[in-house]
Structure formats: structure tokens, C-alpha cells
Amino acid sequence: MNLSFHIVVCAGIVPDPLQTLEPVIGDSGPALKNEMLLPAVLDPWAAHALYEAAHLARGHAGSKVWLVSLSPRAKLQQVMMTVAQKAPFELVALDGPAGGFTDSAEVAGALAAAIEAIPGLDRSRLLLFGGWESAARGAGTTLAMVGERLGIFDQFQGVDELRVEPDGSLRILERVEGGRHQISRCAGPPAVLGWATGSLAEPPNQPQLGMQNMRTILPALQRAQSVALPAAELRFVRVALPSQQRQTRIVRDVAAEEVAREIVDWIRG
Amino acid sequence: MEQVLLLLTTGENGSIGKAEREAVTATRNLVCALGGSVWTVGLIGGTISPAAEQLAGCGAAGFVGVEGKEFAVSRYASDAAAAEALCRAIGAGLVLAPGSSRLMRALGGVAQRLGARIDTHVVGLRVQDGAIQADRWYYRQRIEATLTRAHRPWILALDPGSFPPWDGAPGTASVKRVPLELGPEAQRTDVVGLQAVDTGEQTIRPEAELLFVAGAGWTKKQPDGKTHVEEAAHLILEFVRKTKASLGSSKSLVDLAGEGQAVLPFLTHLHQVGQTGATPRHPKGLATCCHGEEPHVVGWRFIGERRAINLDANCGWARGKADVLYVADAFEVLRAALRLLEGNEHR
Ligand SMILES: Cc1cc2nc3c(=O)[nH]c(=O)nc-3n(C[C@H](O)[C@H](O)[C@H](O)COP(=O)(O)OP(=O)(O)OC[C@H]3O[C@@H](n4cnc5c(N)ncnc54)[C@H](O)[C@@H]3O)c2cc1C
């Protein structure tokens, strides 16, 4: 049995979580202030999907990983400088907005078209990976739509574990309510897996691998077609930062017993 | 006039849970605000009559359903097929649903099949000048937005905990069954079962009054120059047990496990609160030994009252992120709190 996979990881880029975000309303709808200047990272849950994809490919000879990203080309290039050092993959780049205020249906259309055009992609061995939600729009719907467009009807979201069984079936753990996992068994690829954190730590930077990856990444960035996401029928009535500042009462130099009593009273309160 | 469908899945005994009853409230209110629209409840499950009876008085114009043992399980292919069939049967322009893990998995694909648009994690709904407006968060609860769409069908998945659950009286109700045969391509996946992540007891309790969050500080060297991981584990678990709190964690603490450091064995990534973790809803939250950095605190968006214990008076919580910051040793405070809680038990 040929237990090798063609793994396509869909991953956007998002502002580094430590950055302060501020919304602005532009001509084409809401955006982030100085969006192009904010340092960006690969969308965290999608990054986990990439690490899991690389791990799976390593364990199954003949497998291959593609990373498909719809993001502003210049920013994507910056992000790739680090990501290229984490795992071996071939980049498929689309040049377009990566912000949260785009519509998942349009993004899915562009991603599916790009995946369909990947030369040599064997759709019968396809595992479509990505983060189960982005850190931008956080809708959790894009991958499902891409999957549907590609005719993949076995889909899993909030995945923390994928195990390939000796018979080629896939044992998958998905997050469900109450801190539990649902265990499913899928006959095999093709399947969609929207990853949560998974179980792998972020791989260390491997400069050698980075240089190797960059040889195909740079031409892919140059080839990147530009994609417009007009979302004409979607209208934002209001976009704002929440008023999150609280008046913090700082309690110090008080005996632990006193603090404990106050906390216990508060909990009971 | 909108043609409104509320999609619900039923549980093991054919009834519906809290998130589903919340979606009933949201739909009732929305239809009322729209004026003149009718709504239908669409049920998916192994058995569905108990749910219809539960909702007999909810005000829906009728009930439709897809029923059968292959629809009892939470599986994309069968759920998407059932939801699609119900939307088509009603000709729904507006589809509401609870954002349960089950429907969240299916609805993106359903939107694609119907040529619909979808918004998820909706936390508020209203009608303004005849248009439906939905509130949701962007950038992991860092930016709030209100949006509206002209496109139909429009699917709205509602975040659990955002609306009060409907609890009207049950009665009798009849359900129109929509026949649906699943092809073999929709049965390539078998649901094997559920597994708790906690090895011992359940420590993630979504319904708890209190969220107790443990940070990496619990495993760090303490003022005596040593770590006290075993005692930390004992204090945390006992406190969570005694207060019936739900247990959360910072990313740093759960990541330590992956790096082979001394850790609290009962913590997993499912406990993680924050940007790349959960955003739970609890009336109160107590953060211990975590610094209160932004990527962590965005996970606290839906926690009502917030208190923190940290040795560092300059930690993130002090900067307007908590209502009260106790500058104190969490070990000492928890030891004392346990004595108080135990004393009370014996009274
Ligand atoms: C892409 C990305 C995503 C991220 N996502 C998340 C996320 O989802 N969730 C998350 O939590 N973080 C996330 N982070 C990490 C975040 O930025 C912080 O690094 C993390 O929250 C710090 O964890 P901590 O506060 O437990 O640990 P530390 O920063 O190490 O803080 C430990 C604290 O414990 C205190 N302490 C020690 N001993 C005691 C004692 N005896 N009593 C009281 N206090 C004590 C110390 O004063 C210190 O403040 C993310 C970061 C990135 C880059």
C-alpha cells in the first residue's frame, strides 16, 4: 500500500500577537492602522499545521508538502525568512490582502483555484491542512469551503492528533466541548484537517534548510498572482477597540491569610 | 420578509442542550425584531422528536428534521448533507445555528454548497433600519465589529454563552421528516468515541462560576531558590476541586511540557487560555503566577470579574487588565485559602 501523502497547508499571515492593533476605516472598508508596517508571523494554528505536515511527510517516504498563502507579497517574503527554516515545503503564493475583514468565501475561492493549479498534485492522496481558525478573522470556515470546492467530504476541525494506521486509515482527534477530544477514523485521503495546537513544539531554525527552501520560495513569490477580495455585499457598520481598561486595585503588603480570605469571600460572593 | 431557519443538532437522547436553547432565544428575538418573518426549526440527529417536544412552545412556525442513526454522530459528511437538505427544503434565506463544535465543523461547507455567506462566533444580533446586524470579534477578541450583509442565504453561527437559554414549557409538536439517503462517500468516516484529555479527573468545566488560571510561575524557582512543582500541583488541583472551578493555563506553562521540563502533569493545550488557546466564558476568573501578557489576556475577554495573584507588582494585570491584583506569593495564598475552604467544609 502506498502510504504517502500530498499535503497542502493553507496559511495566512497575521500581525505579531505582541503588537498593539488599532482599526481604521479606509476606502475599501476596515483595516488595521499601519497594517503593512506591523511585524507579521505565520498564522499560529496554521503554523502548527505546517509542523504537523512536515512531521507526517518525514514519516512517509514519497510525501510532499506545499504551503499555500494568500497575503501581501512583500510581507509574506519577510515571514518566509523565518518559516523557511522550520520545515521543508514548496510555496504557492497569492498576492492579496491577509487582513481579518475579508470574506472567507472569496478567500476560499482563490485558495481552491491555486491548489487546483498545482502541477503534479495527486488529489487522491491529498490532505488539506490549515489552522482551524485564523488569528485574524477567526471564522473557522475557509478550509471547509476550500475542501468543498475540491470535492473533499471528510473534514475535521480543531485537530490535535493524526495517526496513520497500518491499513492506511486515519485516526483523528478533534477538540469538542468540555475539554474533550472526539476520536474518528477516516478511510484515508482525501481529507481536510483544520489543526489546533497539535502536539509538536515549534521546530528550531535550520539555516541550511532555509536556504534550500528560499530557492523555490523566491520564484514562487515573483510568480504570485494578485487577487482582489472586494466583498462588495459585506458592510461593516462599526469597528472598534473594546474599552478594556479596568481600574486595577493593587493590594500589597497584606498577609497571605488576609488575601486568601478576601479571595474566598469573593468566590463565594 | 426573511425565511428563517434555526438549525439544531440533538444529543444522545434526542434532546437539545444549552447552546441550542440559547440559539432559540436569539432566533425568537431576531424574528420578532424583523416583524412579519416566519421561522422554522430544523433538527438533525439520531432521534429528534424529544427536541421538538422540548421546543413545542418556542414560537416557531414548524419543525423539519433529518433523522436516523447515521445522523446521530458528529461527522462532517452526514451533518453537512443534513443541514444542506434542511436549508433547501425551507428555502431559507437566513440560517441561524449554535456555534457548537459539531455545527461549526459542518456549516462552512454548507455555505459553500448553498452559495451562501457565513459569519461565525456571533455574539450579538439586532435589526437596524430593517437590516440585520451581527456583532463579532476580530483578531482573537481584540477588535469588535458590527457587520451586515445583503447576500442571501446568510448563515450565522452564534457563540455559546452569548444569549440567555430559552426555557419555555415543553408540549407536543410534529416534525416533518426530510428524507435523506447518504451515499458511501459520506460514510468514509466513523466516529469512534470521546476521550477526556485529563488523565484523572475532568478539570475543564465550561459551566463553572470561576476560571482558575495557572501560569508558568508555579514551576519557577521560588524565593528559597528551589522549585516546588509537586506542591504546586497539589495546591492547584485541591483548589480547583474545592471551588469547583474550571482550570486554565498560560501558554508558557503548557509549552514547558513539550520541552521536557518539570510540569504539572494534568495540564494540556486544551487548558490554554489566550490568543492560541481558548476564550472561555465564566463570571469570575483568578489568575495565578501568570504575567498577564497581551496574547494571554485576549483569552480573558469574556471573563466577568478578574483577579490576579503575582509576586510582581508591575506585571501585566496591574495595567488595567484585572480588577484586583494581589501582590503576594501564590503558594502562601493558596495554602491559606485551602485551610479556609477545608474549615468551612467541616462546619
Ligand atoms: C504567536 C503567539 C501566541 C501566543 N498565544 C498565547 C496564548 O494563547 N496563551 C498564553 O497564555 N500565552 C500566549 N503567548 C505567550 C505570551 O506572550 C506569554 O509569553 C505567556 O502568556 C507567558 O506565560 P506566563 O505568564 O505563565 O509565564 P511568565 O511570563 O514566565 O510569568 C510567570 C509569572 O509568575 C510569577 N510568579 C512566579 N512565582 C510566583 C509566586 N510564587 N506567586 C505569584 N506569582 C509568581 C512571576 O512574577 C511571573 O509574572 C503567545 C505568544 C505568541 C508569540
Domain count of chain B?
2
Whether the per-residue pLDDT at B129 is higher than 90: the answer is yes
Strands (E), chain B: 3-9, 38-45, 62-67, 94-98, 117-122, 124-128, 131-138, 143-149, 154-158, 175-177, 189-196, 210-214, 246-249, 282-288, 303-310, 324-327
pLDDT in the model for residue B199: 57
Q: Which of A86, A73, A51, A33 is nearest to A207 (CA)?
A: A86
Q: Find out whether A104 and A138 touch, Cβ atoms under 8 Å.
A: no
Grid cell in block for residue B212: 482558575
Ligand 1 lined by B291 (C-beta under 6 Å): yes
E strands, A62-210, are 64-71, 90-95, 126-131, 155-164, 170-176, 180-186, 191-195
Ligand 1 atom with the shortest distance to the CA of B216: 26
Question: What's the pLDDT tens digit per position in A41-74?
Answer: 999 999 999 999 999 999 999 999 999 999 999 9
Question: Do A137 and A102 meet the contact criterion of CB atoms below 8 Å apart?
Answer: yes
Model confidence at B346, pLDDT cuts 50, 70, 90, reads low
Are residues B176 and B265 both part of a single domain?
no
CB B20 within 8 A of CB B2: no
CATH of residue B293: 3.40.50.1220
CATH of the domain at A131: 3.40.50.620
As for the ipTM of the complex, it is: 0.96
Pair (B126, B257) in one structural domain: no
> Is residue A235 helix, strand or coil?
strand
Q: What was the pLDDT predicted at B265?
A: 83
DSSP state of B55: T
Within a domain: A247: no
User: Minimal Cα–Cα distance from B185 to chain A, Å?
Assistant: 7
| Over residues B233-244, mean pLDDT | 96
- Model pLDDT for residues B22-53, shown as the tens digit of each residue: 999 999 999 999 998 899 999 999 999 999 99
Q: In this structure, what CATH number is given to the domain that contains residue B114? A: 3.40.50.620
Q: Answer whether B323 sits within 8 Å of A242, measured CB to CB.
A: no
Q: What is the pLDDT of residues A118-133, one digit of tens each?
A: 999 999 999 999 999 9
Instruction: Judge whether residue B258 has pLDDT over 80.
Output: no
Size of interface A-B (CB pairs under 8 A): 287
| Same domain, yes or no: B227 and B123 | no
Q: Using 50, 70 and 90 to split pLDDT, how confident is the model at B259?
A: low
Q: Of B186, B218, B233, at which residue does a domain stop?
A: B186
pLDDT of residue B266: 87
B155, exposed or middle or buried, with CB in 10 Å at 0-12, 13-18, 19+? buried
CB within 8 Å of A140: residues ≥ 6 apart: A132, A133, A157, A194, B104, B108, B120, B121
**Domain contains B200:** no
The phi, psi pair for B286, rounded to 5°, reads -125, 115
What pLDDT, in 10s, does the model give residues B72-123?
999 999 999 999 999 999 999 999 999 999 999 999 999 999 999 999 999 9
Band (pLDDT 50/70/90 cuts) for residue A179 is: confident
> B 172-211 residues with CB below 8 A of A?
185-186, 188-198, 202-206, 209-210
Backbone angles phi, psi at B18, to 5 degrees: -65, -45
Q: Quick check: is B35 in a domain?
A: yes
CA atoms of B80 and A134, how far apart (whole Å):
22
Cβ-defined contact of B146 to A142 (cutoff 8 Å): no
Query: Which band of pLDDT confidence, cut at 50, 70 and 90, is reported for residue A269?
Result: confident
Range of the domain at B275: 210-345
Q: Does B118 touch chain A (CB under 8 A)?
A: yes
CB B126 within 8 A of CB B265: no
Q: How far is CA B309 from the centre of its chain?
A: 26
DSSP E strand stretches across B30-93? 38-45, 62-67
Q: Is the separation of the CB atoms in B171 and B53 below 8 Å? A: yes
Compute, in angstroms, the gap from residue B295 CA to the centroid of ligand 1: 9
pLDDT computed for residue B177 by the predictor: 98
Residue A10: enclosing H or E segment and its boundaries?
strand A6-10
Q: Is residue A43 domain-resident?
A: yes
Q: Provide the grid cell at B146.
A: 458590527
Q: Is B255 on the interface with A (CB under 8 A)?
A: yes
State residue B343's pLDDT score: 81
- With a CB cutoff of 8 Å and minimum separation 6, the contacts of B226 are none
Q: Are residues B35 and B175 in the same domain?
A: yes
Note the pLDDT tens digit of each residue in A197-216. Answer: 998 989 999 999 999 999 99
Q: What is the residue range of A69's domain?
A: 6-226
Classify residue A238: in a domain, yes or no: no
Contacts of A116 (CB under 8 A, 6+ apart): A150
Buried b (16+ CB within 10 A) or exposed e, A234-266: bebeebeeeeeeeebeebeeeebeebbbbbbee
Output helix, strand, coil percentages for chain A, rounded to the nearest 5: 30, 30, 40
**What's the gap in Å between A160 CA and the centre of ligand 1?**
22
Q: What is the pLDDT of residues B278-299, one digit of tens each?
A: 999 999 999 999 999 999 999 9
Number of structural domains (chain A) is 1
CA of B247: how far to CAs of A167, B208, B228, B336, in Å? 38, 10, 19, 19
Q: Tell me whether residue B226 is in a domain.
A: yes
Residues 6+ apart with CB under 8 A from B193: A182, A183
B203 in a domain, yes or no? Answer: no
